[in-house]
Amino acid sequence: MEEVQERLKKVRQYVRETAVDCGRSPDDVQIMAVTKTFSAEVVQDAVRAGHTLFGENRVQEAVAKIPRVQGNTLRWHLIGHLQSNKVRPALQTFQVIETVDSQKLARRIDRVAEDLGLTASILIQVNIGGEEQKDGISPEELGPLVDLACELENLELRGLMAIPPFQEDSEASRPYFRRMRKLFERHRQGRERKFTVLSMGMSADFRVAIQEGSTLVRMGTAIFGPR
Ligand SMILES: *Cc1c(COP(=O)(O)O)cnc(C)c1O
């Protein structure tokens, strides 16, 4: 309990300092606690420390874990790949799907959302490093997917998400974050009111991500320790 609380306190402080140092408002950067592989008990410690925004990678793990965490107004985001046969439980479990990366998946989520009588909040995941093995849509194909997501009636497109290629030195991630910021600015034009989230940066590179415009950093190790 105390360990998670202490780490959260430090993370909040680092995030705040980084934002202020680069002339941004600390309120413009949300901190997500990434709970994959950690137990509901450990997550509960973070809730007790006042944390409300969480991320999980797998639908199955989340379906088992989330009902065991007590708390009001907790928000859960899916940050791992979504298979089309898991769309229904994903929409019943998560408030935001951050990993929409194809027109097919967008249409499928729209249909299931209609069926469930809800509006699905989504982010589009961009494969900003052009890595073959990674999920995410290419920057070139992003425009048509943004247009489609805005057209589909049961989707609400809230922004973009990316996981740049792994780097030993976080400074090497800067060009990827910068490119994401440019895509974000370009595609949100005319849609600024709802298109507000740029989800990028993890425990090892959140400072650089914030300097380059991230509005949501996803932190696992820094809050819960090594996996
Ligand atoms: C695991 C994970 C994180 C958190 O990674 P840490 O390095 O532990 O902070 C963030 N985003 C995604 C998509 C992840 O899978």
For residue 220 and ligand 1, the question of a CB distance below 6 A is answered with: yes
For residue 46 and ligand 1, the question of a CB distance below 6 A is answered with: no
Q: Residue 2 — very low, low, confident or very high, per pLDDT cuts 50/70/90?
A: confident
Residue 204 burial by Cβ neighbours in a 10 Å radius (0-12, 13-18, 19+)? middle
pLDDT digits (tens, 9 = 90+) for 209-227: 999 999 999 999 999 999 9
For the four alpha carbons of 69, 215, 18 and 137, in that order, the dihedral sign comes to positive
Q: For residue 133, give the amino acid letter.
A: Q
H, E, C per residue of the chain: CHHHHHHHHHHHHHHHHHHHHCCCCHHHCEEEEECCCCCHHHHHHHHHCCCCEEEECCHHHHHHHHHHCCCCCCEEEECCCCCHHHHHHHHHHCCEEEEECCHHHHHHHHHHHHHHCCCEEEEEEECCCCCCCCCCECHHHHHHHHHHHHHCCCEEEEEEEECCCCCCCHHHHHHHHHHHHHHHHHHHCCCCCCCCEEECCCCCCHHHHHHCCCCEEEECHHHHCCC
**Ligand 1 geometric centre to CA of 143 (Å):** 26
Q: 56, 96, 218: which to mutate for ligand 1, most atoms within 8 A of CB? A: 218
Unique residue bearing structure tokens 């996981």: 163
Hey, which residues does 56 pair with through a beta bridge?
78
Provide the whole-model pTM. 0.98
**Ligand 1 geometric centre to CA of 35 (Å):** 9
Hey, which residues does 172 pair with through a beta bridge?
none
For residue 79 and ligand 1, the question of a CB distance below 6 A is answered with: yes
Q: Residue 1 — very low, low, confident or very high, per pLDDT cuts 50/70/90?
A: low
pLDDT digits (tens, 9 = 90+) for 146-193: 999 999 999 999 999 999 999 999 999 999 999 999 999 999 999 999
Q: 30, 34, 135, 210: which to mutate for ligand 1, most atoms within 8 A of CB? A: 34
* Nearest to 97, CA basis, from 114, 74, 113, 115: 113
Query: What is the number of the ligand 1 atom nearest to the C-alpha of 222?
Result: 9
Hey, which residues does 109 pair with through a beta bridge?
none
* Nearest to 224, CA basis, from 95, 67, 49, 38: 38
pLDDT digits (tens, 9 = 90+) for 75-126: 999 999 999 999 999 999 999 999 999 999 999 999 999 999 999 999 999 9
Hey, which residues does 120 pair with through a beta bridge?
155
**Ligand 1 geometric centre to CA of 129 (Å):** 16
